[in-house]
Structure 1
């Protein structure tokens, strides 16, 4: 599909996804929802992509849902919320939990405002890097709404239940440092994009199959039973042992230990991760 509000660029195995509606502080309208969903689907199929860096254009991540735009069209509201089964994710939820479903690391670079729906999207990332001047808020209660974009999946893993209640019910706007202290973000960096590229370089030196297995294991086992966790670890390890990227990882590690510049390049990610 032709994209107007989301830009996708792939460079050396890193996908740069940028929300591009800067005149509205990257507020999310219906078309942007569809475009984010489309990008996630495209990246899921591209086994050459090793990592995603998600950001907003011109100094802001996202000011949240463009309520006026969506509410002016009942069909758009239905399109966002419709689902065939209650347990399935609708379009509004896929733009958050969809990042979690990708078998590659996703780093959110947060500058300026990250409110409401923007915060829900950022919560779908695996790592959140914020600039010192960034402002973050789970803001839906301010508009008399409940956060319904699946960000709670990650929020419940990041903070205690009482903290989640407080942040959600008060719609408090947090500074970057406050967000770090409560666990909403991973790091505060003077230049979060530069830091994201640095991490991308590090992560790209490891096996994409191992990273896919690690992400899947942590996400699915975080609240699972011990038996499920043990089973998932064993199955993943067997698959990795049988893959060619594991052999390349061992060779690279051996070369690195000897002080030799690693020459082995990882193959694309195995299918099925």
Structure 2
């Protein structure tokens, strides 16, 4: 199984079976958090994969004990092409980098299977939701974390994608409480299509991928496209812009995020306010 890596090795692309690409977020010491040093090469890898006509199905997973823990609170990495920008514009450009990854997964020619191992938190939950199929290992869990950090739970298409996956009432409850959803519940409510023992996660996803790869290319591509079209009541891209602006509004105009990080470090409940 030959592996292709980005310059820092934070994204691995392997070919475990014919016509199947395994894309692994490879920063296990940070629970594969969505630092820009990981997300920028992930977007590059997806851009290359969508035009690789030998690849028929993509499996997306995380190295180590987690799928992706969302925002990196310690080392966010470098955002490209932002030299000379003010803080508000820097925030907008940063948001676009992450938005583009979610949209790339949606627009990929090939169906994407998220092999969710361990934590899928915040943006990591969004990555899973942007996939076409989700399979959870028995140790997987999901959390819409923004609300716990003094922000909105809406980010990277989450308030658009989650209700479409599990229904409005469940999505409201999960996003407004910030609670964890374990693999058993995720299967029961339809957040994932199945739960399997952790050791069977990748083999199960490869088996699904091989079955899909055996069908006609235009058949699978058009099925993916029409399924998403049928779910879209409006524009995901426009929704993500509004969602991201709401997140930035709270992030830039309050100190709630800093309070959440400090409280977690000091092992105390956070005390959120509405002003800086």
Alpha-carbon offset, residue 103 of structure 1: 1.6
Partner residue in 1 for 2:230:
221
Alpha-carbon offset, residue 72 of structure 1: 9.9
Decide which structure has the larger Cα Rg and report it.
Answer: 1
Please report the TM-score for the alignment, with normalisation by the length of structure 1.
0.73
Partner residue in 2 for 1:197:
206
1:216, 1:117 → 2: CA distance? 23
1:200, 1:131 → 2: CA distance? 16
**DSSP 3-state at the match of 1:37:** helix
Distance 1:194-1:181 versus aligned 2 partners, 3 A rule: same
Partner residue in 1 for 2:254:
none
1:224, 1:63 → 2: CA distance? 29
1:166 to 160, 167, 173: 173
The alignment status of 1:137 with 2:143, answered yes or no, reads yes
Alpha-carbon offset, residue 219 of structure 1: 0.6
1:160, 1:138 → 2: CA distance? 15
Partner residue in 2 for 1:24:
30
- Within 5 A, what are the aligned runs for 1:30-109? 30-70=36-76, 81-82=92-93, 90-109=96-115
The alignment status of 1:206 with 2:241, answered yes or no, reads no
Partner residue in 1 for 2:182:
175
1:187, 1:79 → 2: CA distance? 39
1:177, 1:80 → 2: CA distance? 37
* Segments ≥4 residues shifted beyond 3 Å: 75-81
1:153, 1:93 → 2: CA distance? 13
Alpha-carbon offset, residue 42 of structure 1: 1.0
Distance 1:219-1:177 versus aligned 2 partners, 3 A rule: same
Structure 2 residues not aligned, in runs of 5+ = 1-5, 235-276
The number of residue pairs the alignment matches comes to 220
2:139, 2:105 → 1: CA distance? 25
**DSSP 3-state at the match of 1:58:** coil
Please report the TM-score for the alignment, with normalisation by the length of structure 2.
0.73
1:8 to 1, 13, 29: 13
2:91, 2:15 → 1: CA distance? 28
Distance 1:72-1:216 versus aligned 2 partners, 3 A rule: closer
